[in-house]
Structure 1
Amino acid sequence: MFIDLLRHNKNVSILLAVLRVYLGYTWVMAGWGKIASGQFDASGFLQGALANATGEHPAVQGWWVVFLENVAIPNVEIFNTLVPWGEFLVGIGLLVGCFTKTAVFFGLAMNFAYLFSGTTSTNPQLVLLSMFILVSAINAGRYGVDGMIMPTLKEKLFATKTINGKEAAEV
């Protein structure tokens, strides 16, 4: 019942649009701050995550340490580009409501990467709010670019035509 409300109610889509814009603004500001400074370096954050992997109750789990040591740290220059631009592009997608589900999915992936690395900050809040956007499907983008292009796209993808008196989906 609640999920149907999130997915189909036009009044709820207004609330979801406000939520989507808030999340988008948060991501844009985080990404743009890193891009504009031109001095973002994930090395310290990654080393801090490794430091949080020790002790009796480590904040960073061993499997994530393996990822950090074998993928992230050796390729820190790639992550120095991916992180700020990923945050910025997720934010733009959410702000304008374009490919909303895709944007929120990648936002969640980044939030969980930060959480796995032992930091909390605003990440739990962003994860919780993002789940509403993700579950709401197309309704979160109704008042955005998705609301303008998806009906046309759906119409073109699922157009039917009659062949020998029978309807057939046009591919």
Structure 2
Amino acid sequence: MVTKEVRLQSTVAGLTADGRVHTLSVWFILALRLMMGLAFFQSGLDKVLSGEFGAGGYLTGAVPDSGSPAADLFVAMGNTPWFVDFVNVAVPWGELLIGLGLLFGAFTRLAAFWGAFMMLLFYLGNWDVAHGYINGDFAYMLVFLSVAAFGAGRILGLDTYIEGYEIDGQPLVERYPWTRYILG
């Protein structure tokens, strides 16, 4: 089997990064997608089935105690009853749906975006910089962003089929180019 060398190159703010992709890269990207999918699915499922998730005390008590630079914002959210009600539904169901999206490789970029957003909020809420600014929440946020950037839903995922679904003889992503931002 002859494999073609694949190179990645990107320029941001005048700085160019260039690299070669190893043939095993696809398996590691798939592993990252499945790992985060399983982690979020399990976490969300536990919260949904137990029905015991509540964000109010965390937002008003734990976050300010952590020394987070966003503590005032979290306290304001925790003191807004409708917002706490929203978070009490959005976190468990969001984790569950993000997990399913990643496990099945469906709407992967959309799922990864919301996963990264949740991890950013967890990072700010669980502020602990005693050992530096990089912790598990920050690392998971970068994993979600990597999953999105590499279009990991196309690797043994449903996004391949969704993108190719024909509407009036034209693949979905060609007919509706904006879908590239949520699929892949």
**Identity, % of aligned positions:** 25
In 2, distance between residues paired with 1:67 and 1:113? 11
Q: Which residue of 2 aligns with 1:102?
A: 110
- Cα separation, partners in 2 of 1:18 and 1:83, compared to 1, 3 Å: same
Q: Secondary structure at the match of 1:24?
A: helix
RMSD: 2.7
Unaligned stretches of 5+ residues in structure 2: 1-6, 11-17, 129-134, 176-184
- Cα separation, partners in 2 of 1:129 and 1:158, compared to 1, 3 Å: closer
Partner amino acid, structure 2, of 1:92: L
Q: Does 1:141 align with 2:153?
A: yes
In 1, distance between residues paired with 2:111 and 2:145? 12
Structure with more helix by fraction:
1
In 1, distance between residues paired with 2:50 and 2:57? 16
Q: Does 1:92 align with 2:100?
A: yes
Paired residues of 2:153 and 2:159 also in contact (CA < 8 A): yes
CA deviations 1:123-160 (Å, max 9, x no partner) are 13312322321221x3x11111101111235724536x
In 1, distance between residues paired with 2:62 and 2:79? 12
**1:62-141 → structure 2 map (5 Å cutoff):** 64-74=70-80, 75-119=83-127, 122-136=136-150, 138=151, 140-141=152-153
Structure with more strand by fraction:
2
- Cα separation, partners in 2 of 1:156 and 1:105, compared to 1, 3 Å: closer
In 1, distance between residues paired with 2:99 and 2:115? 8
**Structure 1 position 44, deviation (Å):** 2.5
Paired residues of 1:104 and 1:130 also in contact (CA < 8 A): yes
In 1, distance between residues paired with 2:77 and 2:123? 17
In 1, distance between residues paired with 2:75 and 2:39? 29
Unaligned stretches of 5+ residues in structure 1: 53-57, 160-171
Q: How many residues align?
A: 148
Partner amino acid, structure 1, of 2:102: L
- Cα separation, partners in 2 of 1:156 and 1:82, compared to 1, 3 Å: closer
CA deviations 1:83-121 (Å, max 9, x no partner) are 101111110000000010110000000000011113467
